[in-house]
Amino acid sequence: MTCRLCRIAVLIVLGSATAVRAQSATQLPATQPTTAPATVAIDTPPAAAALHVYLGNLHAHTGASDGTGTAPEAFAFARDVAKLDFLAITDHNHLLGGEKATPAQRTALYVGPGADAILPAADAAMRPGKFVALFGQEYSSMSKGNHVNVFDAPAVIDVPNGKFDGLLDWVAAHPDSANKPEVVQLNHPALGTAPNRVSKTEFGRDDFGDDAGWVAHMGKVTSLIELLNGEPGPKDPVGRAPQIMESHYRRLLRLGFHLAPTGNQDNHKKQWGTITEVRTGIIASELTRPALLAAMRARHVYASEDKNLRVIVTVNDGLCGDVLKTPGPLKVAIHIDDADEFAARYTIEAFRGHIGGTAEDVISTPKLDGNTPAGKFMAIDGISLTQPGEFIYFRITQSSAQGVDRLWTAPVWLETK
C-alpha cells in the first residue's frame, strides 16, 4: 500500500533545548519539563515532499530452514492476508535444507532453479507499487555471537558460524543487486545476554581486537538493529512483541554504532505479518526493491508497535538516520496520521546521548492531539546538537481508546569532521 503525503505519519524537523533528566516509560526515571515545547503548523518540508512510508517485516522463516511453509506461501500470505507492503524471508544460512544438507542442496533451496526456491519466489511475488518481496539469510548461531540478517545476498553464505570477520570478507566478495555490500541487521540483541549488557562475543565483538575495531569494521555494513522482535507465547500480551530491546539499542549507539531500529516478527509459523501488530517502517521514494534497500542502507527506518502508524522524520534538510555536520539548533516538525486512531494523543520524547557516554537525557517532550491536517506539519523549537558524537532519537507514545503503542525513530548524529 503506497502512502500518499497526506497519510504520512510523523515528520520531525529538529531545534535547541535545555537538558532534562532522562525519561522512559519502562527503563528510565520520569522527569518532565515544566512546560511542553510550543508547536506551530508549517507546510511540508522539502526533504519529505516525495517520500512515502511502507510497513512490513524484515525477519521471517519458512520450512527451508526452521520455520514452516514455503517461500511462495509466505510472500502470498504477507501480501494478500496481512496486507504488508514488504516481507523479507531470512532463513538460516546453515540450516537451509537441514544440518546435513549439501552445499548444492542449500543453493537449490535459496537460488533455485525451482519456483519454490527463495530468490525465484521473491521475484514472482513482486507487485509493482503494492508489494515488495525481499530476501536474505540469518547468519551465525546464538552460541557463537548471536544472529544477523544479511539482505539481498546473491548466494548461500558459507562462512562458519561466529566468524564475523569472515562474514565481512564474504560480503565484500558477494555484492548485492546494487553492486554494494549487503545491508546487515543485528537481530534480537537481548537474547542470550545479561540485561543491559553487550556480551564479549556479541555480533563478532571478539573478532576485531577491541571495541573500536569491532565498531569500525561491523559498522561499515550494519545499519539496522531489532528493537522489537518475536512471536508471542501463551503468556504474552496478544499482538505485542515479547522482546523489547531499547536498552540494547541505546548501549550500541553509545559504543558508536550508527543504527536504525526495526520491529519484526521472526515468524516460524504460517502467520507472516499477523502474529503481532509490530511493524518496521521504511521511508522511501517508491515501493520497489532498490528503493527499500537504499532506504535501509541509509537508516531511514523505524520500529513501531502499531501496525499502521506512519512516520517520517526530517532533520534540517534530511531524515532521521542521517549524519549532521553543523552544530547548533535544529528544526523539528511533526505530522502524525493513524487511519484507525485519528483521535489519539501523542507524547514525543527526544532522547539525547553521546558516543562514549553512559546514559541518555530526555530534552524535549512535546504533546500533540489527533492526526495532523493533510499537508501540514507541526514545528517544534528547542532541540539542538552541539558536541561532536552527540545523537538524538525520538520515541513517540500513542494513547487512545485502543491502548498505548510506541514508535522509535533512527537517531541523527553530529559529526563535524
User: What CATH number has the domain bearing residue 93?
Assistant: 3.20.20.140
pLDDT of residue 151: 98
What H or E segment, with its residue span, contains residue 71?
Answer: helix 71-80
| pLDDT surpassing 60 at residue 8 | no
Same domain, 286 and 362: no
110 pLDDT tier (thresholds 50, 70, 90): very high
From 10, 3, 77, select the one nearest 312 (Cα to Cα): 10
pLDDT over 90 at 216, yes or no = yes
Question: How many folded domains does the chain comprise?
Answer: 2
Which cell numbers hold the place of 94?
A: 546453515
**196 or 376, which is more confident:** 376
Are 236 and 109 in a shared domain?
Answer: yes
| d(C-alpha 313, C-alpha 114), whole Å | 42
pLDDT category of residue 301 using cuts at 50, 70 and 90? very high
pLDDT band, very low/low/confident/very high, at 196 (cuts 50, 70, 90): low
pLDDT averaged over every residue in the chain: 90
What 3-state DSSP class applies to 207?
helix
Same domain, 12 and 45: yes
pLDDT value of position 194 = 60
Give the span between the Cα atoms of 298 and 183, in whole angstroms: 10
Same domain, 190 and 292: yes
Q: Do 253 and 151 belong together in one domain? A: yes
- Round the CA-based radius of gyration of the chain to a whole number and report it: 20
Indicate the helix (H) or strand (E) that contains 319: strand 318-319
Quote the domain boundaries for residue 223. Answer: 52-308
Residues 211 and 140 in one domain: yes
* Domain shared by 195 and 278, yes or no: yes
**pLDDT, tens digit, for every residue of 55-64?**
999 999 999 9
What percentage of the chain has pLDDT greater than the value 90?
77
Are residue 147 and residue 273 in the same domain, yes or no? yes
Q: How many residues are there in the chain?
A: 417
Statement to judge: residues 267 and 230 lie in one domain: yes
Q: Averaged over 177-203, what is the pLDDT?
A: 87
Boundary (domain end) residue, out of 265, 286, 308: 308
User: Which of 290, 308, 326 is where one domain is finished?
Assistant: 308
Q: Tell me the C-alpha distance between 102 and 251, whole Å.
A: 39
- Of 29-38, 39-48, 151-160, 405-414, least confident by mean pLDDT is 29-38
From CA 415, how far away is CA 412, in angstroms rounded?
10
Tell me the helix, strand and coil percentages in the chain, rounded to 5: 20, 30, 50
Clarify whether residues 320 and 199 are in a common domain: no
Residue 6 pLDDT > 80 = no
Judged against a pLDDT cut of 50, whether residue 222 lies above it is answered with yes
**Segment among 23-27, 241-245, 301-305, 374-378 with least mean pLDDT:** 23-27
Identify whether residues 246 and 280 lie together within a single domain: yes
Domain ends where: 308, 333, 352? 308
Q: Residue 25 pLDDT more than 60?
A: no
With cell 512516520, the residue in question is 311
Q: Are residues 93 and 240 in the same domain?
A: yes
CATH number at residue 29: 2.60.40
pLDDT digits (tens, 9 = 90+) for 242-292: 999 999 999 999 999 999 999 999 999 999 999 999 999 999 999 999 999
For residues 390-411, give the mean pLDDT.
Answer: 97
